[in-house]
A and B are shown apart, each in its own frame.
Chain A
């Protein structure tokens, strides 16, 4: 007989509110297998019943850069810092794609899986994290494509100069993921109740691509519109793309200040996203 049960003995306490920063990481760690299984599910179900399978991950960027080369490179004649055009566009595209996929998918992840979330408990943070991880695999596959193209132009003797900034690649990847996740969580928190923002995301994110240096280098903006180049730098993804290009190709507007700004912005957005997410997490099933 244990009649002296005191209140500290309880394992789980369910109440109306939790503290802002309590992410319940212990719970998250317990469910780490689920996170990996979700990633696997997304990956496997992507190419089930297809003939080409994971090759489809290549098709999208290949066709994209083909069009960019034709339209922006040749037809419009936007300069690309004297680099091989496909390589220039691919570097920008894979970074931007990773960011935009993380953002759009996490912003609808609760609506898409409302049925599941309404029936069973697991740490809600698993859902956006699985999106970020699934897309990391996709990024990895597309990065291999970039490396193939890179070696191809290298062997052809193109003017490519990799340098020490290349070592920042892991940080860059973490930053894109954190930016996508942070923005996505902010948007998802709002769209569970009011769906207006989802419309803005669906047409806004593709447009947002033009406010960063995917199809043009930052250097050309600084030459043509020096007074407005801050607008482009304002987008935290710009620094990431420019640093990525600079590290691999030796051209690009890399600066420590710009990177520092981007890093701080990323941290603020991730933190804001986490706080907002924590506030809605417990009850969003009722409103989604």
Chain B
């Protein structure tokens, strides 16, 4: 297969903070260095891009020495935590911004879909916007005309096609916008997280279209998403990014497992700030983390798997009737469950409590964990959002086969016992 994209030593530096009076003197300094043929003094202090630690310089490398090649017909997913450099990479590939060093070589036309509905003008009708948006994405007028009917049919908004798009519902807006983008004729398609919008039915349609583009038409697709499920379905290969560099590359299933086990690791131990009233209370919690069933620290759990949470706390004065409790809240602010330890009398010292979840299977999503230390019902140390646990869109291999989907159908996955009985009596009367 012929190579269609070749990325060599690609790096991109961004300046942090605000541009103001201070920046101009620095700009002059850089300019001065450049005329003398010296290296840019501010780019030398390179650091990796870890947003959780505060760096020393205010230049940050969003991408650092990226190298990869794609062949025609590849469907490649890019995954990584927020700030790993995924979007910056796509922005450079789609020529929205230029790299600081390195190069990208591309064969054929490239179409990028970094946002749905870019350049839609609210005052113009759907018809006019199809032409405008198509032209912005790089289509010629004749090409849009030829595909016009197809685009309208795909979007399903025929009835409103001559109405200004400001009167559209947000769903219709997205449908029309994606329809235009989906009908681009390009050898390479770049898609960034566009599926976060629209209803489930339309998302399915979009995914189907992307799948068709890559598998059916042999075009190259680069796809960024936090929806691991979609990435797993669409992409054969995955580029795993971490702090602006390529962490790993390989087959989809293998990379997703790698991502869940390793890349998320650094974020999964939560330190709890020491409370201000430390002298007045008999103890406090200082650390909490999530483990999988085997005791390995993680923050993302495959749907259908059990897990446990370990809470570390210190007792500074002897306590009677000590209770530690955890509450789990869904992203929609619904409290799913609260669990308490049995009341115990504790001496001074360091302790840890293990909360094992081996009853409920949570649906795919992020759950925040609230923590409380109390004497009977009287809480003395309460921590809101002490930690978070993510139940993945990827399902555990031993998940109950009757669970059809792990998201959008309720918070609890545990199946009820269901029996279908062949009622012979009715059958016989019928005959």
| A positions within 8 Å CB-CB of B | 1-2, 5, 7, 9-17, 30-31, 33-34, 37-38, 41, 44-45, 48-49, 115-122, 193-194, 282-283, 285-287
- Given A37-B131, A194-B24, A286-B97, the answer on whether A122 and B138 have CB atoms closer than 8 Å is yes
B96 and A193 within 8 A (CB): no
Q: Does B99 contact A (CB under 8 A)?
A: yes
Tell me which residues across on chain B come within 8 A of A285, comparing CB atoms.
91, 96-97
Tell me which residues across on chain A come within 8 A of B385, comparing CB atoms.
none
Shortest B15–chain A CB gap in Å is 8
Shortest A283–chain B CB gap in Å is 5
Shortest B108–chain A CB gap in Å is 6
A122 and B136 within 8 A (CB): yes
Which of B6, B15, B112, B136 has a CB less than 8 Å from the CB of A34?
A: B136
A14 and B118 within 8 A (CB): no
B103 and A15 within 8 A (CB): yes
- Given A33-B135, A37-B132, A286-B97, the answer on whether A45 and B103 have CB atoms closer than 8 Å is no
Tell me which residues across on chain B come within 8 A of A34, comparing CB atoms.
135-136
- Given A121-B95, A194-B24, the answer on whether A44 and B123 have CB atoms closer than 8 Å is yes
User: Complex formed: what's the CA distance from A1 to B2 in Å?
Assistant: 7
Of all chain A residues, the one with the shortest Cβ separation from B110 is A12
Can you add 7 more A-B contacts, CB < 8 Å, to A45-B123, A117-B96, A120-B115? A15-B98, A33-B135, A49-B123, A118-B91, A120-B96, A194-B24, A286-B14
User: Complex formed: what's the CA distance from A193 to B110 in Å?
Assistant: 29
| B positions within 8 Å CB-CB of A | 1-3, 6, 14-15, 19, 23-24, 91-110, 112, 114-115, 118-119, 121, 123-124, 128, 131-132, 135-138, 140-141, 164
User: Complex formed: what's the CA distance from A45 to B119 in Å?
Assistant: 14
User: Complex formed: what's the CA distance from A45 to B123 in Å?
Assistant: 6
Shortest B378–chain A CB gap in Å is 52
Tell me which residues across on chain B come within 8 A of A120, comparing CB atoms.
94, 96, 112, 114-115, 118-119, 136-137
User: Complex formed: what's the CA distance from A44 to B124 in Å?
Assistant: 8
Of all chain B residues, the one with the shortest Cβ separation from A5 is B3
User: Complex formed: what's the CA distance from A119 to B136 in Å?
Assistant: 10
Q: Which 6 A/B pairs are nearest by Cβ-Cβ distance?
A: A282-B98, A121-B95, A34-B135, A10-B105, A14-B104, A12-B106
Of all chain A residues, the one with the shortest Cβ separation from B142 is A33
- Given A12-B106, A120-B112, the answer on whether A2 and B2 have CB atoms closer than 8 Å is yes
User: Complex formed: what's the CA distance from A9 to B96 in Å?
Assistant: 23
Tell me which residues across on chain B come within 8 A of A122, comparing CB atoms.
136, 138
- Given A48-B123, A119-B115, the answer on whether A283 and B97 have CB atoms closer than 8 Å is yes
A14 and B2 within 8 A (CB): no
Of all chain B residues, the one with the shortest Cβ separation from A9 is B107
B106 and A14 within 8 A (CB): yes
B99 and A121 within 8 A (CB): no
User: Complex formed: what's the CA distance from A118 to B112 in Å?
Assistant: 12
Tell me which residues across on chain A come within 8 A of B1, comparing CB atoms.
1
Of all chain B residues, the one with the shortest Cβ separation from A15 is B103
B121 and A41 within 8 A (CB): yes
A119 and B114 within 8 A (CB): yes
User: Complex formed: what's the CA distance from A34 to B119 in Å?
Assistant: 11
User: Complex formed: what's the CA distance from A237 to B135 in Å?
Assistant: 35
User: Complex formed: what's the CA distance from A44 to B132 in Å?
Assistant: 13
Tell me which residues across on chain A come within 8 A of B105, comparing CB atoms.
7, 10, 12-14
Which of A11, A41, A49, A117 has a CB less than 8 Å from the CB of B107?
A: A11
B106 and A11 within 8 A (CB): yes
B107 and A10 within 8 A (CB): yes
A41 and B103 within 8 A (CB): no
User: Complex formed: what's the CA distance from A254 to B104 in Å?
Assistant: 54
Q: Which of A30, A115, A119 has the most CB of B within 10 A?
A: A119
Of all chain A residues, the one with the shortest Cβ separation from B94 is A121
- Given A2-B2, A121-B94, A286-B14, the answer on whether A45 and B124 have CB atoms closer than 8 Å is yes
User: Complex formed: what's the CA distance from A122 to B138 in Å?
Assistant: 7
User: Complex formed: what's the CA distance from A235 to B102 in Å?
Assistant: 44
Of all chain B residues, the one with the shortest Cβ separation from A117 is B96
Show 6 residue pairs from A and B whose CB-CB distance is below 8 angstroms, ordered by the A residue: A14-B92, A15-B99, A17-B98, A121-B94, A122-B136, A285-B97
User: Complex formed: what's the CA distance from A224 to B37 in Å?
Assistant: 54
A31 and B97 within 8 A (CB): no
A16 and B97 within 8 A (CB): no
A121 and B98 within 8 A (CB): no
Tell me which residues across on chain A come within 8 A of B137, comparing CB atoms.
120
Q: Which of A1, A10, A45, A287 has the most CB of B within 10 A?
A: A10
A31 and B2 within 8 A (CB): no
Tell me which residues across on chain A come within 8 A of B24, comparing CB atoms.
194
B138 and A31 within 8 A (CB): yes
- Given A119-B96, A120-B114, the answer on whether A5 and B135 have CB atoms closer than 8 Å is no
Tell me which residues across on chain A come within 8 A of B6, comparing CB atoms.
10
User: Complex formed: what's the CA distance from A86 to B397 in Å?
Assistant: 85
User: Complex formed: what's the CA distance from A58 to B123 in Å?
Assistant: 22
User: Complex formed: what's the CA distance from A198 to B141 in Å?
Assistant: 35
Of all chain A residues, the one with the shortest Cβ separation from B132 is A37
- Given A10-B105, A12-B110, A194-B19, the answer on whether A41 and B132 have CB atoms closer than 8 Å is yes
Tell me which residues across on chain B come within 8 A of A2, comparing CB atoms.
2
User: Complex formed: what's the CA distance from A16 to B104 in Å?
Assistant: 10
